[in-house]
Amino acid sequence: MPQAEESARAGERIYPPFLTPPAEPLSLPGYFLAFVRNPLGATPAIIYREWTYTYRDRITYVADPARIKRILLDDFTEFPKTIIERYVFSKLLGRGILTAHGPEWRWQRQAAAPLFRPAEIQRYAPVMTAAAEAAIEDWRQLAPGAVRYVDRDTTRATFGVIADTMLHSRDPAVTEALERAHRDYLLPLSWPGVYGALGLPGWLPFPRKAARRRAEIDMRQSVGNLVRRRRAGADDRDDLMSRLLNAKDPESGQSMGDEQMVDNLLTFLLAGHETSAKSLAWMLYLVALSPEWEERLLAEVRRVAGDEPIGAEHAGRLTDVAMFIKEGMRLYPPISSLARVATRDVDLDGTPVKKDGIIVMPIFAIHRHRKLWEDPARFDPERFSPEREAQQVRYQYLPFGAGPRVCIGASFAMLEATILLASFVRAARFKVPDGHVPVPLSRIALQPKGGMPLEVTLRT
Ligand code: HEM
């Protein structure tokens, strides 16, 4: 069974915890069980060192940047998203921007795109700064060194940011429905995932399926109420909600109905905070593991921002912070794999893939691939110094995906991570409780299993 390995330190070298992949190809029941427990544990070891690997004629793992470019960019219409997304998300996210295809996807993407232009994103910075300050304010109530599940703090902060920037609303009903969703929706998530991957029917039962369905209905209802209230009121705020309400499909001339609005708002609410929250929790863990980088980040933040609240005007100059964030997302990519389906029999530069075959791009493994990274398991933000980053191939580093379906929120997420991480490091010290080793667990976002407890001590 895969195990999280102890972080080992050899001098300055830090090897943060990893999940050992299965060395031998798994039997079908073995694959199924491993996937349900933790999809990362089903990723075969061979794909950490070879470019492709086909499992039972059905799933082709691809780690090669050139082939990935072809799938995600050059021939992207031939490799759409898979039935896995439909099984995992469709009742919740319907046919919104994340799950739709072709023209139906394109116009929704175009409708949302203006909100993610660089100038717009800068405007969201004060909300991000306020979210960081609020988390730090909570920590002020703690005794020095108190153990805190920092993933909960980062989740509260990033949820607040997305709700305030995209919806201008912190409706308690929406917050509660989404909090419950963590328990009832995310945990049984890998069941429909493995059904989709192995081509099994989606109606098969799985544990807590009814609770999951209730969570879906709950989340949709609470966001649906928001949409109805906005339609009813005279509200001219320029946010995601109003952009989407005013957008029109160029083919049909129709605007979005309530259901499609809910599809998209939920997509942004979930895609826009869960990933950022979990990656920030991993980054605070990495800060705690590396006193050297803690000092370096602190010195940079003080040099650039002094005691001022950290905002967009500082973010561009926080270059060590940016390197650290990129390395954090290399070792713990919030989305640990991407999947696409072949629409016809295809030869992927020597690797045959049958029509309807699933192609998995295992980002977690690609980010630790032996042919792509030197000493891949080592924590080393210097990999992302401008000189060394320039030598990387675009498609070897994929935290935000690539091609036309690249994460629309990538710059938003980078600014948010910079402001939050810089604010947190300047305000507090973090220590890993004795003997604690977090295990990476893939559930939409890559999370530390059971949460991320850290001892937090405010700097005076
Ligand atoms: C660290 C934070 C984040 C990470 C690592 C991340 C990662 C990703 C990845 C890998 C994809 C591509 C999925 C695929 O190709 O199958 C994606 C898509 C998407 N992300 Fe993000 N994301 C993050 C934050 C955000 C934020 C802050 C937002 C919104 C404010 C957002 C909204 C979306 C949306 C709407 C899509 C679907 C885009 C499309 O299909 O056109 N994400 N994200």
Please state the separation of Cα 97 from the chain's center in Å.
16
- The CA 36 to ligand 1 mean position distance, Å, reads 23
- DSSP secondary structure code for residue 117 in this structure: S
Q: Is 407 annotated as a binding residue?
A: yes
ipTM exceeds 0.95: yes
Ordered DSSP codes for 121-144: HHHTHHHHHHHHHHHHHHHHTSPT
Which comes out higher in pLDDT, residue 209 or 376? 376
Average pLDDT of the chain, as a whole number: 89
CATH code of the domain covering residue 351? 1.10.630.10
pLDDT over threshold 50, residue 10: no
Of 223-232, 267-276, 448-457, highest mean pLDDT: 448-457
Any idea of the CA torsion for 301, 302, 308, 311, to the nearest 10 degrees?
Answer: -10
Distance in angstroms (rounded) separating the CA atoms of residues 112 and 247: 9
CB atoms within 10 A of CB 4: 17
d(CA 165, CA 269): 10
Position 5 pLDDT exceeds 50: no
Q: Which of 436, 459, 437, 440 is nearest to 449 (CA)?
A: 440
Q: Indicate which atom in ligand 1 lies nearest the CA of residue 334.
A: 5
Q: How far is the CA of 276 from the centre of ligand 1 (A)?
A: 10
d(CA 50, CA 65): 12
Give nearest CA residue, ligand 1 atom 36: 407
Nearest CA to ligand 1 atom 17: 407
Query: Quick check: is 2 in a domain?
Result: no
In this prediction, what percent of the chain has a pLDDT beyond 90?
A: 58
Q: How far is CA 182 from the centre of its chain?
A: 15
* Residues sharing a CB contact under 8 Å with residue 153, sequence separation 6 or more, in sequence order: 135, 138, 139
**Range of the structural domain that residue 23 is part of:** 8-458
Q: Does residue 442 sit within a domain?
A: yes
* 400-424 confidence digits (pLDDT tens): 999 999 999 999 999 999 999 999 9
**Ligand 1 atom, smallest distance to 81 CA:** 16
**Quick check: is 3 in a domain?**
no
Please indicate, yes or no, if residue 96 is contained in any of the structural domains. yes
pLDDT band at 82 (very low <50, low <70, confident <90, very high): confident
* Residues 6 or more apart whose Cβ sits within 8 Å of residue 267: 93, 96, 97, 98, 99
pLDDT of the residue at 142: 94
40-44, 173-177, 349-353, 355-359: which range is least confident on average?
173-177
At 444, phi and psi to the nearest 5?
55, -75
Q: Is 359 exposed, middle or buried (0-12, 13-18, 19+ CB in 10 A)?
A: buried
Q: Is the CB of 419 under 6 A from ligand 1?
A: no
Is 275 near ligand 1, meaning CB less than 6 Å away? yes
Q: What is the DSSP letter of 224?
A: H
Amino acid at 308: E
Among the listed ranges 100-109, 164-173, 426-435, which one has the minimum average pLDDT value?
164-173
Contact 98 CB / ligand 1 (< 6 Å): yes
Distance CA 452, CA 140 (A): 19
How many structural domains comprise the chain?
1
Strands 351-353 and 428-431: unpaired
> Is residue 182 domain-resident?
yes
State the Cα–Cα distance between residues 167 and 261, nearest whole angstrom: 12
Pairing mode, strands 358-361 and 59-62: parallel
pLDDT band at 187 (very low <50, low <70, confident <90, very high): low
Q: Is residue 147 part of a domain?
A: yes
> Does some domain include residue 1?
no
Among 5-9, 177-181, 275-279, 304-308, name the one with the lowest average pLDDT: 5-9
Give phi and psi for 406, each to the nearest 5.
-55, 155
Instruction: Give the closest residue to 262 by CA, choosing from 221, 306, 203, 294.
Output: 221
Window from 131-135, 158-162, 454-458 with minimum mean pLDDT:
158-162
Nearest CA to ligand 1 atom 18: 407
The best mutation among 71, 159, 407, 418 to test binding of ligand 1, ranked by most ligand atoms within 8 Å of the C-beta, falls on 407
384 domain residue, yes or no: yes
Angle, alpha carbons 175-227-414 (nearest 5°) = 55
Chain-centroid distance, C-alpha 213? 23
Tell which residue, 221, 204, 206, 211, has the closest CA to residue 185: 211
Band (243; pLDDT cuts 50, 70, 90): confident
Neighbours of 245 (CB within 10 A): 17
Is residue 360's pLDDT more than 50?
yes
User: Does the CB atom of residue 428 touch ligand 1 within 6 A?
Assistant: no
Residue 314, SS3 per DSSP = helix
CB 85 within 8 A of CB 73: no
What are the Cα distances from residue 172, in Å, to 133, 178, 179, 283?
21, 10, 10, 28
Query: In 13-152, where do the E strands start and end?
Result: 13-15, 52-55, 59-62, 146-149
For residue range 268-290, what is the model confidence (pLDDT) as tens digits? 988 889 999 999 999 999 999 99
Dist CA 265 CA 220 (whole Å): 10
